[in-house]
Amino acid sequence: MVNHLAIIMDGNGRWAEERGLTRSDGHKAGARQIGVAARAAMKAGIKYLTLYAFSTENWKRPEPEVSCLMGLIQEFAQSELPNMMRDGVRLRTIGRTGDLPLASRMALEFAIKQTEKNDKLTINIALSYGGRAEIVDAVNKVIAEKRTTPLTEADFVSYLYAPDIPDPDLLIRTGGEMRLSNFLLWELSYAEFYVTDTYWPDFTEETLADALASFGGRKRRFGGLNKK
């Protein structure tokens, strides 16, 4: 059973280029699929959905593309709020969100506050996020506390961005690439991976069903041996 699903939403640009569209058109099409993925996840009984929307490295992209993405973040938080309230979806974010433009941050903070008591599905959006940055930020929190006792792994988890959210069971990467791209480096230690050539704007309930079927046929050992 998948309790926490993580998705690297890749392929927006290639999807657009193959159709003679701009990369911004691809991102707009990809933004619309978040609702599709959320509804499919709820139907499958998934409780947590973490989406890699904007990485720390994405700030290096051309300004018009970054501006488009920031606008889509704001639009998503505003336009999807009624749907999230209706469906019982709680919105969260992880990452260095203080780097986002004020309008985007305010829209997100308002939606997060409004949905904080919803409990059907938690959508956790990674924004200005990097797995290495998360670990560095956690270490800096430990240093700031001037802690003198040794840390356990459980202790360290409490300094991460979302310590109350369980680790992902399954990671889906769309677009066919075979890499983590600095995503949830700590949390994905024992997740199962599923890579599909499907671009993110073409993600459907059937895409998720295929991934869940693959997951269901695997044996998770967590470093140990199967019990007979």
Residue 210 phi, psi dihedral angles, 5° rounding: -65, -40
User: Burial of 101 by CB count in 10 Å (0-12 exposed, 13-18 middle, 19+ buried)?
Assistant: middle
Residue-wise burial string across 8-21, b where 16 or more C-beta atoms lie within 10 A, e elsewhere: bbbbbbbbbeeeee
Judge contact between 187 and 162, C-beta under 8 A.
no
**CA separation, residue 138 to residues 142, 167, 188 (Å):** 6, 16, 16
Residue positions annotated with a catalytic role: 10, 58
- The answer to whether residues 121 and 49 touch, using CB atoms and an 8 Å cutoff, is yes
Question: How many whole angstroms separate alpha carbon 42 and alpha carbon 180?
Answer: 25
Residues in the chain: 228
